[in-house]
Chain A
């Protein structure tokens, strides 16, 4: 049974005051989450974040810019290691953060599917198995063997979307809802995303679009300055909107 839980997760990191010959910024921090210890500055990005999700849960992450939504997603994915508390994941975690990551302009669309698949951790067999479906969904046709750099912005976005969503996730993390292409493709993309959310055991979606979250999610976690402000059912959270 898939599940994901955060237990008192805290993340502080030293601000990148790198060893450099450039003159230093000596201004004092005004944000309470930035503290100074000796010559080092620390940012407290997350503090005491605790929640638990079971199979079937769809969590909406809300909060103002800088509240810690993306940081929390990256902690849950494993990009950042918390320095306090821990995260427990049961099930395969997939993330849709930067769908264009790793696309190579000179390689063909087909080669980019292979490379992106390898980066995603797919085996050669899984890549071959998904290849036709990805090409078909992207509607690139014969352009699939042309260099990626020759694609229009819409074509590139369609390919990136098709590869990124060719997953069978157990736990899916999303930083904003993704869409791509012209209006017709956007509709298709919306259906694919809904299908993906239905297939996944657990979804965590960070977004400012409360209408979307209301439609997709059954739980909402609101972050404020890296702390959990509220963790409650979606109907309750969006009852006024």
Chain B
């Protein structure tokens, strides 16, 4: 067991040492995705703004909640990041098959390459989120700083999620379709644009038993309610630790064998 974690740690260490490789490839990936467009990666901001504005406008009709734009803006920021990470991780090793079979780069290089991409994309969405918060008149307070801590937890959990879903996708190719569909449905089962006021019922279940909720709340709570989300933070950290333990176990166990599954 210890050897498995040692192997995973070595792979991660070697991957981190090759940051110049994965950073360069990640930047190229983002550039390629928006090549030949006038706005380039700014389309990421536009996409986020268009989606968020539509939701705010459509769902806000009949509501009298001045915090709702901030609620949706922060909710979508986190949800889009989680959805991007999960749905694209499933095909990660399949996309990197030629590299995995043709080089001796550590497996974590591919994880970090995609992680860097996801952070860059999330960064553009964050610009859009800040814009909505500014336009909607939300007044920043010191408690908002806690959202940065929430974002840090979210981002630090992402590589673990990428490792897990990348192995799942390589071992079980059908999972890419299952997971894509689950994430589409998941958006409506997660309090991204709906609120829960403790009234019980089905929303109670989807609010408390949905792990995504806690990652949403650690970023959203300080901004929308001006409160420090202590319990959601502890739960999110707990989930993050669990994911890292599982991810490192998978990495250590399969990093040398994944080449045979592709």
Interface residues of A (CB under 8 A from B): 13-14, 16, 18-21, 74, 77-81, 97-98, 101-102, 104, 106-107, 111, 114-115, 118-119, 121, 124
Contacts and interface: CB of A to CB of B under 8 A. Distances in A.
A121 B172 CA distance: 32
Given A98-B102, A119-B105, A104 B261 contact: no
| For the complex of A and B, 7 pairs with smallest distance between CB atoms | A13-B260, A19-B172, A81-B256, A78-B104, A118-B21, A98-B102, A101-B102
Given A13-B257, A101-B102, 13 more contacts: A14-B260, A16-B261, A18-B173, A77-B104, A97-B102, A101-B103, A102-B99, A104-B32, A106-B32, A111-B28, A118-B20, A118-B21, A121-B18
A79 B24 contact: no
Given A101-B98, A104-B32, A19 B103 contact: no
A80 B259 contact: yes
Nearest to A80: B259
Contacts of B18: 121
Given A18-B171, A106-B31, A98 B98 contact: yes
Contacts of B105: 119
A79 B173 contact: no
B22 to A, nearest CB: 9
Nearest to B178: A21
Given A79-B101, A97-B102, A101-B102, A114 B260 contact: no
A79 B259 contact: yes
Contacts of B103: 79, 101, 119
A101 B100 CA distance: 11
B28 A104 contact: yes
Contacts of A81: 256
Nearest to A99: B102
B184 interface: no
Contact of A115 (B24, B101, B102, B173): B24
Contact of B172 (A18, A77, A97, A107): A18
B28 A107 contact: yes
Interface in B56-114: 98-99, 101-105
Contacts, number: 56
B25 interface: yes
A115 B28 contact: yes
Given A79-B101, A98-B102, A115 B25 contact: yes
Interface in B102-158: 102-105
A182 to B, nearest CB: 26
A78 B104 CA distance: 6
A78 B259 CA distance: 11
Contact of A101 (B99, B172, B257, B261): B99
Contact of A124 (B20, B98, B102): B20
B21 A119 contact: yes
Nearest to A22: B174
12 contacts: A16-B261, A19-B171, A19-B174, A78-B104, A79-B103, A79-B104, A101-B98, A114-B24, A115-B25, A115-B28, A118-B20, A121-B18
Given A16-B261, A79-B259, A119-B103, A21 B28 contact: no
Contacts of A101: 98-99, 102-103
| Max count, chain A CB within 10 A of own CB: residue among B20, B172, B260 | B260
Contacts of A21: 174
B35 interface: yes
